Amino acid sequence: MRLGIRIFLVYFLFVGLAGYFLLNTVREQIRPVVRQSSEETLVDTANLLAEILRDDVKAGTLNQGRLPEVLKAYGSRSPGAHIWGLAKNQVSHRIYVTDAKGIVLLDSSGEAQGKDYSKWNDVYLTLRGQYGARSTRSDPNDESTSVMHVGAPIIDAGKIIGVVTVAKPNSSLQPYIDHSEQRLLTLGLGLIGLGLLVGAALSWWLARSLRKLAAYAQAVSEGERAELPHYKGGELANLAKAVERMRTQLEGKAYVERYVHTLTHELKSPLAAIRGASELLQDDMPAEQRVRFASNIERESDRLQQMIERLLNLARVEQMQALEDEQQVALAALVDELLVAHAARIESAGLQVRQRVPAGMRLLCDPFLMRQALANLLDNALDFTPEAGALLFDLERDGERVALSLFNQGQAIPAYAIGRVSERFYSLPRPGSGRKSTGLGLNFVAEVMQLHGGALAVDNVDGGVRVRLWLPLRRIS
């Protein structure tokens, strides 16, 4: 199972359980809280009525005034109120009054008048100076039929002369309880869903970040060039830096070992030639031979110098993971600059050079690396172009790619070598001299193209060889 899925499942389990227990706990508290609030209101109402009815109860005129009519009118009222989006169209309070013996003197419902309520807790406890309240079900098996009763003492000169009880069915509170629970459930599920979305996004981000880091480590282990993932602080940034330090140290060690072996192998031939010539120069010989052997030493020394410089340039490029200095460069001007630099060689060979790169074309690149790459291409083309031959710089487009191409007239590359010309230290004999180059030029060009997101292509065409530097279209403007 993937790490991101495991993280999300753990998060889902935690949020789900936490949300369930929280919602369940709050839901369990809604019912008693609503009933407590209602009971508190009943207490206030009962005490207010106790003060209002005191004189009538004391005088025994409770049923002779307007109170029975008022209570009857009260019971038939339709408030038409909207509370929390719920309609309230009838009153639900029941009010009854008992004397000091618990006998009902007045009942708003007209059901209990004359009955003995002295055994009910609301009356029984109130007559004894305690808080009298009870909750009684009309159907013992149905909780929804329970009714809250709250009594208040009617006091005259410090003596309890009666009890006023205000009753309210719990069923009248149930719509508000259900509405609150529904709102809470909707909001809670929404918050849980939002939390899960956040958890999913977090899991995806973390797994994606780790996958990028793993892909980077895999690419490095396979010797590919890859860009270090960028993280803004935190443990992932520290981990990325640690992996990069490890890569640098490991690659540096392997890189040095590889280059030492390669350089040792490639230096053997020119060093042997220099040593042989110097030994011969220690003996007496004609001046003509002495000049020839001295020229050999100079030529091989130049070859060593060139090889070392190109190896240093190649090493620098191979160690780069990304371009460090990207600028907009006028491509035609860059080609013209290189042609001017090689003008003496071009003129001495009588070469015909054409440059068909549009003047306004600009290339997003590292100016130094691109100039070096084009210089290597031009050097290579000049080596293989016969006298009075032709060179052509051109620009081609293929879909989302653009190629700067260099055609040189001359012999085709042998079939066995066409796929190896960009290998390090692989070189073909130059026409005329038969000597080989360092074999690092095209390898350097290939590395530079890879850094720019492009590729090097070498092909035989009619009349000669064409080298193309393929680049993404986004780099050309």
Rounded CA separation 407/418 (Å) = 15
Same domain, 29 and 159: yes
Whether 200 is in a domain gets the answer no
Whether 196 is in a domain gets the answer no
- Residue at which a domain ends, from 148, 178, 208: 178
**Which CATH number belongs to the domain containing residue 45 in this structure?**
3.30.450.20
Domain count, the chain: 3
Rounded CA separation 297/270 (Å) = 9
- Look at residues 327, 401, 403, 399 and name the one whose alpha carbon lies nearest to residue 362: 327
Q: Please answer whether residues 277 and 269 qualify as being in contact, where contact means their C-beta atoms are separated by less than 8 angstroms.
A: no
Whether 71 is in a domain gets the answer yes
- 327: part of which helix (H) or strand (E)? strand 327-330
Whether 215 is in a domain gets the answer no
Residues 6 or more apart whose Cβ sits within 8 Å of residue 145: 137, 138, 139, 169, 171
Q: Please answer whether residues 114 and 71 qualify as being in contact, where contact means their C-beta atoms are separated by less than 8 angstroms.
A: no
**Which CATH number belongs to the domain containing residue 249 in this structure?**
1.10.287.130
Rounded CA separation 302/181 (Å) = 90
Same domain, 233 and 348: no
Same domain, 236 and 368: no
Same domain, 315 and 365: no
Return the SS3 of 378.
helix
- Look at residues 393, 403, 398 and name the one whose alpha carbon lies nearest to residue 454: 403
Q: Please answer whether residues 343 and 335 qualify as being in contact, where contact means their C-beta atoms are separated by less than 8 angstroms.
A: no
- Residue at which a domain ends, from 322, 355, 375: 322
Same domain, 90 and 25: yes
Span 57-78, pLDDT tens digits:
888 888 877 777 787 777 777 7
Q: What is the pTM of this model?
A: 0.42
DSSP 144: G
Same domain, 300 and 155: no
Rounded CA separation 49/166 (Å) = 9
Same domain, 365 and 394: yes
User: What pLDDT does residue 453 have?
Assistant: 86
Question: Which domain range does residue 126 map to?
Answer: 3-178
Q: Please answer whether residues 361 and 335 qualify as being in contact, where contact means their C-beta atoms are separated by less than 8 angstroms.
A: no
Rounded CA separation 395/357 (Å) = 6
Same domain, 391 and 411: yes
* C-alpha distances out from residue 473 to 320, 363, 476, Å: 23, 10, 5
What separation, in Å, do the N-terminal and C-terminal C-alpha atoms of the chain show?
A: 46
Same domain, 140 and 270: no
Same domain, 235 and 141: no
User: What pLDDT does residue 260 have?
Assistant: 55
What percent of the chain is helix, strand and coil (3-state, nearest 5)? 55, 20, 25
- Residue at which a domain ends, from 255, 289, 322: 322
Whether 448 is in a domain gets the answer yes
User: What pLDDT does residue 255 have?
Assistant: 47
Compute mean pLDDT per 10 residues along the chain, 477 residues long, and list them.
66 72 70 78 90 88 79 75 70 88 88 90 92 86 84 92 90 72 78 78 77 74 66 70 66 51 57 72 78 75 68 60 78 89 85 90 85 84 89 90 91 86 76 64 81 88 92 85
Same domain, 159 and 53: yes
**Which CATH number belongs to the domain containing residue 345 in this structure?**
3.30.565.10
Around Cβ 381, how many Cβ atoms within 10 Å? 24
Whether 116 is in a domain gets the answer yes
Same domain, 355 and 473: yes
Span 253-304, pLDDT tens digits:
544 455 555 555 556 556 766 777 777 777 777 878 777 777 777 776 776 7
